[in-house]
Amino acid sequence: MTVSKLVFTPLSYTGWGSLEQLLPEVEKYSPRKILLVTDPFLKEIGLTERVTAPLTEQGYEVTVYTEVVPEPPLAVGEKLVAFTREGKFEMVIGLGGGSAMDLAKLAAVLAGNEGPAADYLNLSGSKKVEEKGLPKILIPTTAGTGSEVTNISVLSLESTKDVVTHDYLLADVAIVDPELTVSVPPRVTAATGVDALTHAVEAYLSVNASPVSDGLALQAIRLISRSLRTAVENGNDKQARIDMSNGSYIAGLAFFNAGVAGVHALAYPLGGQFHIAHGESNAVLLPYVMGYIRKSCTKRMADVLNALGGNSLYLSEEEASYKCVEELTRLVKDVGIPQTLAGFNIPESALESLTQDGVQQKRLLARSPLPLLEEDIRKIYQSAFNGV
Ligand code: NAD
């Protein structure tokens, strides 16, 4: 018998209009000073105001911090942590994509711990989080990362990415309102949507998958695959946005419990060295990693094919697994993401340094159904460069 540790927090509200639950949830904590962590674009388009207005009307003091940048570097995280400690806040709200939510939870937790964020990094840090820090509410405005339900904060380093991870980084409340994603432009909808799909597929194929995470992963694949193309083509399609937000949230629960693997391990160096958005890094690699590991998990790939809307009934497992890789490749292509590393202007000369950084991601690689060693990683980057 296998024992699975499953963590399903935080308290969550999902559905169109669920942002209305913010005020009653804030009231439970009665914070005197609230820090809202977001990015400048969300302030510009008025989303920030939608969150602050009901709070300030009730007399809450809200400080809006807009210095979040996409794929935030460690230094941006350090600055926010210092700001949060000095400001004597009593609650942190993260509003935005994974970049804003990751920084919000990092700042909330490290406000109660000592020393720089660098000390708490998984690969190079030496300290463990000891205190829970401030209460935090996370509100995603993209449908992608699932950060609202994970205990991870991702930071960009010089040539790769690293994470701070501890269960104290789990939000106290997540509010997943698809209405907040309507303004996401097509390219970001595509990248974040494939990110969520990758979470679900990798969770389903993970060596740590369990019957519980399997159910979540397959449902996320169904919702995302049926609505991603529509959400990219017509961002105002309400049902597509609802499916994508639910799919992303469920995929987050699945991968937080089962883990992600090779796609993410190889995507981190692409983000670190070439500043490619996280979703796009995953998307360009997804078909190649799946093609490479296919032979180790043909039965599970047949299940993924069915969840993608295909039909494995009259196919052998081998045939179904090929078809699964084909379907994933087609989806990534249909939503307009470049199909090769060359499409992102990555030179062939970079493949070796990408390989060397990819090998470092042992935590992620350990969950791949096919063990991925240095030579395997080199081959996958090469095929993603060549496009075959
Ligand atoms: P992002 O947060 O960087 O946002 C991408 C862009 O979309 C930004 O320019 C932002 O302004 C814009 N945007 C966001 N919401 C919008 C809206 N409603 N309307 C219009 N524009 C909007 O992108 P992301 O993909 O959500 O997050 C990426 C980050 O999340 C990376 O650093 C990645 O490593 C991290 N991540 C974290 C986890 C986790 O579990 N913590 C999981 C996956 C990825």
Tell whether 309 is covered by a domain: yes
Tell me: do 230 and 165 sit in the same domain: no
Contacts 24+ apart (CB under 8 A), 45-48: 45/183, 47/95, 47/141, 47/180, 47/183, 48/95
Q: How far is the CA of 351 from the centre of ligand 1 (A)?
A: 26
The answer to whether residues 193 and 259 belong to one domain is: yes
Residue 49 C-alpha to ligand 1 middle, in angstroms?
19
- Spacing, Cα 277 to ligand 1 middle (Å): 8
Residues 325-362 pLDDT 10s: 999 999 999 999 999 999 999 999 999 999 999 999 99
Amino acid 294: pLDDT: 98
Locate the ligand 1 atom nearest the alpha carbon of residue 182 and give its number. 18
CA of residue 371 to ligand 1 center, whole Å: 30
CATH of the domain at 159: 3.40.50.1970
Q: Is the dihedral of CA 124, 285, 340, 237 positive or negative?
A: negative
Residues 143 and 126 in one domain: yes
**Is 313 in the same domain as 381?**
yes
37 and 116 together in one domain: yes
State pLDDT tens for residues 1-59: 678 888 888 899 999 999 999 999 999 999 999 999 999 999 999 999 999 999 999 99
Domain contains 5:
no
Q: Is the CB of 71 under 6 A from ligand 1?
A: yes
Does the CB atom of residue 192 touch ligand 1 within 6 A? yes
Same-domain status, 57 and 25: yes
Q: What is the ipTM of this complex?
A: 0.99
Cα(99) to centroid(ligand 1), Å: 5
Tell me: the pLDDT tens digits for 88-128? Answer: 999 999 999 999 999 999 999 999 999 999 999 998 899 99
CATH number at residue 218: 1.20.1090.10
173 with 194, same domain: the answer is no
- The whole-number pLDDT of residue 221 equals 98
2 lies in a domain? no
- Nearest protein Cα to ligand 1, atom 11: 41
Number of folded domains that form the chain: 2
Tell me the residue range of the domain where 125 lies: 11-181
Whether residue 257 is found in the same domain as residue 343: yes
261 shares a domain with 116:
no
Instruction: Note whether 227 and 316 are same-domain residues.
Output: yes
Burial 318-339 (b: 16+ CB within 10 A, else e): eebbbbbbbbbbebbeebebbe
Nearest CA to 49 out of 21, 19, 69, 25 is that of 19
Q: Which of 181, 199, 221 is the last residue of a domain?
A: 181
Q: Is 198 in the pocket of ligand 1 (CB under 6 A)?
A: no
364 part of a folded domain: yes
Nearest CA to ligand 1 atom 42: 145
Atom of ligand 1 nearest to the CA of 155: 32
CA 388 to CA 379: how far, in whole Å?
11
Tokens encoding 103: 């920084």
- Structure-block tokens of residue 282: 């995953």
- Verify that 319 and 270 share a domain, yes or no: yes
144 and 225 in a common domain: no
End of a domain among 165, 181, 197? 181
- pLDDT for 73: 95
**Which of ligand 1's atoms lies nearest the C-alpha of 183?**
19
